[in-house]
Structures are given as C-alpha cells and as structure tokens.
Amino acid sequence: MDLLGRYGADLMQLHQDWDRLRFISPGPRTPAMYSSYLRGQLGKPDVIVLAAEVDGVVAGYIYAGLEGPDYMALRGPAGVIHDIFVDKTRRRQGIGRALLGAGVEALSKLGATQVVLSTAHQNADGQRLFALMGFTPTMVEMTLQLSGAVKQT
C-alpha cells in the first residue's frame, strides 16, 4: 500500500505537470495520505483496488468503484474508474491494458453495465489505450481561470 500511495502522488504530479492551474500538486504527505485512503477502501463491497505485479514488484494499480446515479454527471449507475497508473519504467509493456481489463471485469462482476472514466486532455497515451479497450469519448471538461491567473500552455 505504501508503493500505491507513492504511485497516487506520481499520478497527481503527472497531471500537475500537464496543467498547473487545473490540477492540484502533491505534497510531502501525499503518498502516506493516499495509501491510507486506499487502505480504507479495501474490503468495501463496491470498490476495487487491483495491483499489477511484475517480477515481484508492484508495477501499477487501478482504483475503481460501483456508484449509483450521478445527476451532476448526467448518468445512471455505473462502474467508475478513478485511477489507473503504471510506473513510468514499466509503461508500454501491456500492464495498463491488463489492469484496465481486470478492472472492467471486476466492475462487471459487481453488476456494472457501464464503465466511465475521465482522462486529462493531454493524456494522449491513456486515451489511445482507453479507445483500444472500447471506451468512447462522451464529455469534455473545460476550465476558465479567474482572479487574474495566467494561462499556461
């Protein structure tokens, strides 16, 4: 779980690097707080936390859950993939595809008839993987910075 906490912080940093105004930055306590959060999710009947292991080392994880209707997201009950992350030294080896497939299968076994996820606009590699696995674009988030913030490219 400690390594998954570090991966959660790495995922946050990756997003922050893409867009410093939109995404929050991890801090020194983020890995411990994130691993504590995930530890608290374990054992919940509607949550999955799966890790991929390669040569005895955890190479990535997926965190998802079965959720009821979300009227703000304009959707009915669905499996929601919150996080999927593969260590940068292990990418392009099929680990993300295996994690995503296992996550979708686990959500299906929980009763999901639809699975949704969000991805950063800049995450072209992730979007290619999601499309290969059958996901189709349905929403676009747009952000407007206020209070004199400088737009970054």
pLDDT digits (tens, 9 = 90+) for 61-106: 999 999 999 999 999 999 999 999 999 999 999 999 999 999 999 9
pLDDT, tens only, 98-148: 999 999 999 999 999 999 999 999 999 999 999 999 999 999 989 999 986
Confidence (pLDDT) at 150: 56
Cβ partners under 8 Å of residue 10, min gap 6: 26, 85, 87, 88
Q: What six digits make up the tokens of 103?
A: 């996550």
Which residues does 3 contact at the CB level (< 8 Å), separation at least 6?
Answer: 58
Q: Half-sphere exposure of residue 94, counting CA atoms within 13 Å on the CB side? A: 1
Region 40-44: what's the mean pLDDT? 93
- For residue 130, the model assigns a pLDDT of 96
Chain-centroid distance of CA 54 in Å reads 20
Tokens of 125: 């590699």
User: Tokens 């959500």 belong to which residue?
Assistant: 107
Q: How far apart are the first and last CA of the chain?
A: 35
More confident residue, 152 or 67: 67
Whole-Å CA distances, 85 to 49, 59, 77, 99, 140: 12, 9, 24, 9, 21
pTM (two decimals): 0.89
Q: Give the model's pLDDT for residue 1.
A: 84
Domains of the chain: 44-132 (3.40.630.30)
Q: What is the pLDDT of residue 148?
A: 66
Supply the pLDDT for residue 147: 81
Count Cβ atoms within 10 A of the Cβ of residue 26 and give its class: 0-12 exposed, 13-18 middle, 19 or more buried. buried
Alpha carbons 137 and 21: distance in angstroms, whole number: 23
Query: For residue 152, what pLDDT is reported?
Result: 52
Mean pLDDT of 20-31: 91
d(CA 2, CA 22) in angstroms, rounded, equals 26
